[in-house]
Structure 1
Amino acid sequence: MSARTDVEAEQNQASSGVTPDTLGATLREKLEASHVDIADLSGGCGQMFEAIIVSPKFAKKTTLARHRLVNSTLKDEVAAIHAWTPKCYTPEEWEKKKGGS
Structure 2
Amino acid sequence: MPMAADDIADMIRAAIPDADVEITDLAGDGDHYAARVVAESFRGMSRVAQQRAVYAALGGRMGGVLHALQLTTAVPN
TM category (shorter chain) comes to 0.7 to 0.9
Counterparts of 1:67 and 1:34 in 2: how far apart (Å)? 13
**Which residue number corresponds to residue 9 of structure 2?**
24
Secondary structure of 2:60 counterpart: helix
Structure 1 vs Structure 2 CA RMSD = 1.5
Larger helix fraction of residues: 1
TM-score by length of 2: 0.84
TM-score (norm 1): 0.66
Q: Which has the higher contact order (CA 8 A, sep 6+)?
A: 2
User: What stretches of structure 2 of length at least 5 have no aligned partner?
Assistant: none
SS in 2 for 1:80: coil
Percent identical residues: 24
- Output the CA distance in 2 between the equivalents of 1:52 and 1:40: 12
Query: Normalized per residue, which structure has more strand?
Result: 2
Give structure 1 regions of 4+ aligned residues with deviation exceeding 6 angstroms.
none
Question: Shift of residue 77 of structure 1?
Answer: 2.8
Unaligned runs of 5+ in 1: 1-14, 93-101
- Deviation at 1:87? 0.6
